[in-house]
Amino acid sequence: MAVAKYAWSGRERLGVLRVRDDVLVLHAMRWPDEIRDPAELLPPPTEVSEAEIEGALALMDTMTVGQLVGEEFRDRYTEAIAQIIEAKRGERPLPEVPEPEQPAPVLDLMAALQESVSKAKASRSEDAGPAEVHELPKPKRKAAAKSRRVRPRSGVGRRASSSATTSALWPLNAEGSAGSDDVATGTGPGER
Helix (H) or strand (E) holding 14: strand 11-20
pLDDT value at position 69? 81
Q: What is the residue-wise DSSP string for 158-181?
A: ----TTT----EEE--TTSS-TTS
Backbone angles phi, psi at 163, to 5 degrees: -75, -25
Considering only 47-61, 138-152, 160-174, which range has the smallest mean pLDDT?
160-174
Q: Which of 177, 154, 179 is nearest to 167 (CA)?
A: 154
User: Is residue 78 scored above 60 in pLDDT?
Assistant: yes
Q: Is the predicted pLDDT of residue 70 greater than 50, yes or no?
A: yes
List b or e across 20-49, with b for residues whose CB sees 16 or more CB atoms inside 10 angstroms. Answer: eeeeeeeeeeeeeeeeeeeeeeeeeeeeee
Q: What pLDDT is stored for residue 136 in this prediction? A: 82
Element (H, E) at 80: helix 76-89
pLDDT tens for residues 11-57?
A: 888 999 999 999 999 999 988 888 888 888 888 889 999 999 999 99
- d(Cα 3, Cα 12) in Å, to the nearest integer? 13
pLDDT score at 82: 93
* Sheet strands side by side (includes 2-8): 2-8, 11-20, 23-28
Residue from 33, 31, 35, 26 nearest 5 by CA? 26
Contact predicate 16/27, CB 8 Å: yes
162 pLDDT band, cuts 50/70/90, is very low
Alpha carbon distance 186, 156 (integer Å): 7
pLDDT band at 72 (very low <50, low <70, confident <90, very high): confident
pLDDT for the residue numbered 182:
47
Averaged over 148-153, what is the pLDDT? Answer: 57
Task: Compute the distance between CA of residue 55 and CA of residue 50 in angstroms, rounded to an integer.
Answer: 9
User: pLDDT tens digit string along 88-138?
Assistant: 999 999 888 878 788 778 888 888 889 988 888 887 765 556 667 778 888
pLDDT for the residue 59: 92
| Cα separation, 70 vs 57, whole angstroms | 25
How many helices (H) and strands (E) in the chain?
3, 5
